[in-house]
Each structure stands twice: as structure tokens, then as C-alpha cells.
Amino acid sequence: MFANTPFYVRAQDPKQRFDINQDDSGQSTETSEPFAALGLATFSQRYKGPTSVVPGGALQAAQAALTKRVACPDGVHTATNAACCALFPILDDIQENLFDGGECGEEVHESLRLTFHDAIGFSPTKGGGGADGSIVTFSDIETVFHANNGIDDIVERQRPFIEKHNISAGDFIQFAGAVGVSNCAGAPRLNFFVGRPTAKAPSPDLLVPEPFDTITDILARMGDAGFSPAEVVALLASHSVAAADHVDPSIPGTPFDSTPSIFDTQFFVEVQLRGTSFPGTGGNQGEVQSPLAGEIRIQSDHLLARDSRTNCAWQSFANNQAAMQSAFKAAMLKLSLLGQDKAKMIDCSEVIPAPASLKAGAHLPAGKTQSDIEQACATSPFPVLTAEPGPATSVAPVPPS
């Protein structure tokens, strides 16, 4: 009905000040985002109150003045700040040529991991510039750190895009992570701020946590960078779209949960299941037994799900997609700004696409029962889940790029 006709959908409740704007290319954007800030899905899906639909032409000038939007030089997009316009061609380029046309596959997983490995190189006492792109700029130094094993692949995949577009390495890494995650159904729409200067120095070694570190060490390291134990657990929602190539090098691409291309809560469920076997050789540093054929579990995830400092936060996400989304979104924003001065940056979150949402909640993998859950949180029971029907779940590897 409204295709290719500019229009706005506006909440009638004056306290709900947001609009959906469809421009004449048929592209919809939402301005202001009280719901997105809560990690909920889009306005149109969440807002239940009355709305008015207003044709674009008449209101466009008033709307532009109200939201201070500028027209981008491409003649297609508008933005709250002209600095965001430059991101649209980068978005199109990486969706097509880095993420295989918008998949949630290997390059997205690696790009998300890279946001962490660049940003966590930050310590108030030991130095490091945080989310500054140092892992690309000083790749000869940082990619040889033990904890960065395998990160050189995505660093070199991203480098030509950074060189081609006028964007700093620090901005590109966080932008690619946020765009990449938007390809994973169930993900929150992450924020993106632009304006990270080029890194001045490499990160010191030993700031990136290892899967064989103790929980005390991991929480201390993450705490040094500014994260609470609950925020550490929230960040680990990333392992719902993840696979390991190097923990057991005989089986590259082995996922951490049964749904590595979906940003669901299965990771928090499946890590709580009793481990029964190794997917490959076993005996690898930082690996413990997993509950499913073809699935890998790292020791740090296993222990975080069971440690009294983190197990209730872990369990709280097991069947609560909205809570996981909102906590992950907030923690990722913090991660993406480590070492940076937010006041000097520009909020271009509107450029990040809205991920598809999920209908179904969490389940037990086929072949498992509630008694396979190793309940750890002392103050509340694990959510009751039903098992998928069919033969015992076996997880397929994530294909290489």
C-alpha cells in the first residue's frame, strides 16, 4: 500500500516520541529508539498503542527539522548527522563482499570475535587503547599473542575494506561487528558510534582472556576493563553465533551451540547440560566435554555457567531472549567504546540494519531431558524446557569462508 511512497508512522501517545519513516526507495528507518535502547525488537513490532500514518510530502520538512536529518549525497539516504552518510556504501560493500550477501556465517562470527579482541586490549594500569583498531594497525605484534590465535584470518579479510573506504580501523572493526550481528536472527540491533582515531600503539600482551584461565582471573581481567560479572555473561551471548577453529585444530568450525547462525539463547541452555564427550580428539587446552556430537565447549564457558559469581546471570538468559538481547546490546556498546571518548564521537546507530526476530523460545536438544541440566544457580530453578523431537541432536560444522 505504501511501497515507494514516503510516509511516517507516528505514535499518537505524545510520551512515545518515535516515528517510522519510509523513504521513497521503500527503505524504513526508525528515529529515536526508546524500545531499541531496551533491547526490544523494532517499534513496529513492540508498540501496541494507536498510530497515525502520515504521507511523506506534507510532513517531510517539519519532520526533517524536528529530527534534524540531513540528506546524504547519494540522494537515497538521510541521516541524523552527515558523518553517518559515509557508512551506507561501506554497509553495502561488506554485506555483499565480506558477509556473503548478508549471512550469519564464518566472517560474521570472526568479525564479532574481533570486536572483542581489539577492544579488550585496554587496561587503566597496563595500557592499551581499547577499541582503537590496534589489532589491525599493529597486527604483526598483536596477532601473535597466544589468545589471538587465528584472528589474523579476519584481520587480513577486513584490511582491504579498511583501505578502500575512508574509515579508521577501530571504527571499521566495530561497524563490521554490529552489521555482521544484524545478519543473525534474534540479535539485538547494536549501536554504532563513529570517530575512533588511528591507534598509536599496540596493546600489551595478556589482556585477552583465555579459555583455560580461572574464573577469578577472567573476572579480574574483565573487571579491570570495566565489566561486572553479569556484563561478562551478557557478552558471552556472542558464543551463540560462534565456532572454534583452533581449540581442537582437527575439527575446525565446531560450534559452541546447536544454532551457530541464530542469535538465540541455546548457548546458555546447552552449556548448562552435562558434558558427555569430546567432539574431536579431546585433551586440548581449555576444552571440556560437550553434551552433543559436533559441539565444542570451552572450559571458561563451562565454569562461568556453574560458578556462584555468574551462574544466576547465566541461567537468567537461558530462556529469556529479550533479557539476553538487552544486556548484550548494552555490554557491546560499552565494549565498542573502551578507551574512546564518547563525547567526541557521533552516534550512527541508525545505519545498523534491524535483525530478524525469532518466534520460538529455547528448547532442549533432541535426546536430552531436564535431568541433563546441571542446575547451578542457588536461588531459582532452571527454566523448564521441552526437548525437540527426533533422534539425538548432532551439530554440523560452520563452513569455512
397 near ligand HEM (CB under 6 A)? no
Strand partners, 394: 293
321 near Ca ion (CB under 5 A)? no
Kind and range of the H or E run holding 141:
helix 139-142
Binding pattern for the stretch 145-164 against ligand HEM, x by CB under 6 A and - elsewhere: -----x--------------
- CA-nearest of 203, 211, 177 to 121 is 203
Nearer to Mn ion, 245 or 350 (CB): 245
257 near Ca ion (CB under 5 A)? yes
- CA-nearest of 203, 189, 197 to 119 is 203
DSSP tally for the chain: helices H, then strands E: 15, 12
Smallest separation, CB 212 to ligand HEM (Å): 8
CB 43 within 8 A of CB 20: yes
DSSP 234: H
262 near Ca ion (CB under 5 A)? yes
- Residue-wise DSSP of 276-299: -B-SSS---TTEE-BSSBT--EEH
What order do you get walking across the sheet with 28-31 strand by strand?
28-31, 19-22, 7-11, 51-55
CB 115 within 8 A of CB 158: no
Is 246 one of the annotated active-site residues of the chain? no
The letter for the amino acid at 229 is P
Nearer to ligand HEM, 6 or 180 (CB): 180
238 near ligand HEM (CB under 6 A)? yes
Choosing from 118, 132, 245, 350, the residue that interacts with Mn ion (CB under 5 A) is 245
107 near Mn ion (CB under 5 A)? no
Residues 251-310 that bind ligand HEM (CB under 6 A): 298, 300
Partner that binds at residue 259, options Ca ion, ligand HEM, Mn ion, none, CB closer than 5 to 8 Å by kind: Ca ion
Residues 6+ apart with CB under 8 A from 239: 256, 257, 267, 301
CB 314 within 8 A of CB 377: yes
Q: Is 372 annotated as a binding residue?
A: no
Q: Is 240 annotated as a binding residue?
A: yes
Q: Near ligand HEM by CB under 6 A, which window of 66-74, 138-146, 238-246, 275-283? A: 238-246
Known binding residues for Ca(2+) are 118, 130, 132, 134, 240, 257, 259, 264
* Binding positions for ligand HEM, rule: CB under 6 A: 106, 109-110, 112-113, 115-116, 150, 209-211, 218, 235-236, 238-239, 241-247, 298, 300
Where along the sequence are the contacts to Mn ion (CB under 5 A)? 245
